[in-house]
Amino acid sequence: MVKVVAGNWKMHHGPLQTAGFFDRFRPEVEEGSVRIAFFPPDVSLRSSRTCARVQADFGVQNIHWERAGAFTGEISAEMAKEAGASLVLVGHSERRHVFGETDVDVGCKVRAAARAGLVPVVCVGELLEERKAGKLDAVLRRQVAAFAGSLADCRDYMVAYEPVWAIGTGETATPEDASAAHAIVRSALGALGRCPVLYGGSVNPANARALMSAPDVDGVLVGGASLDPEVFARIVEAGGALAGAV
Ligand code: PEP
């Protein structure tokens, strides 16, 4: 299966920096053997789509579940679609833990993505104390249960396993840990589990290949290391080297 390599820029790279990013990224990547995706800030979506000139999908980092209304600072799934997004991150750990997004919110957002025809990349993952307390299985199953019903209405979707303790910390799950967590996610999804399941959490060019080679790991969601075009290109290259590998 072709690996997915997705970059979550978080609140980095405005429209001008975005153009500069792609000027340096384009010559570094060989297209075709990896499914590349970018999640720029909303204000850089247009610049990303016009400046990229590489084969990639583009998405937004968050949506509201309503179509429109008095929700200052929010955008709807329909607006994201109209602006050219095909993907949306839902339930990223920073949305859950910095902005207080709940499992119920995540379910509503997946439903909104389905309604608008966006492909949700739904993020799940445990806190360090939950892992240490032996609650990995229960936490992942609870998180998946909150949105699985809405996935059935999506024409396409992905799930990203991102242990909270590994995001932006330099700590990475071992390939074995990632595989084990992905197997739980797939089991919790049941019949809906035949989708790409990505790993995220301090992925870099040195660990990307081993993580993407692990059973059940279909690609990576990359934060910090996606901001530098040459570094991100090396991660794309790692995924490309696995294309066709059994
Ligand atoms: C992320 O933002 O989804 C992420 C995994 O960040 P980082 O790669 O910086 O840990």
Q: 117-161: per-residue pLDDT in tens?
A: 999 999 999 999 999 999 999 999 999 999 999 998 999 999 999
The Cα–Cα gap between 155 and 94 comes to 26
Q: 4-60: per-residue pLDDT in tens?
A: 999 999 999 999 999 999 999 999 998 889 999 999 999 999 999 999 999 999 999
For ligand 1, mutation pick of 62, 161, 202 (most atoms within 8 Å of CB): 202
Q: 64-74: per-residue pLDDT in tens?
A: 999 999 999 99
- Nearest-CA neighbor of 109 among 151, 165, 158? 151
The Cα–Cα gap between 246 and 64 comes to 39
Phi, psi torsion values for 64, nearest 5 degrees: -90, 160
The Cα–Cα gap between 243 and 131 comes to 32
Q: Is 8 in the pocket of ligand 1 (CB under 6 A)?
A: yes
Atom of ligand 1 nearest to the CA of 222: 8
Domains of the chain: 3-241 (3.20.20.70)
For ligand 1, mutation pick of 39, 97, 167 (most atoms within 8 Å of CB): 167
In 10 A of CB 130, how many CB atoms? 17
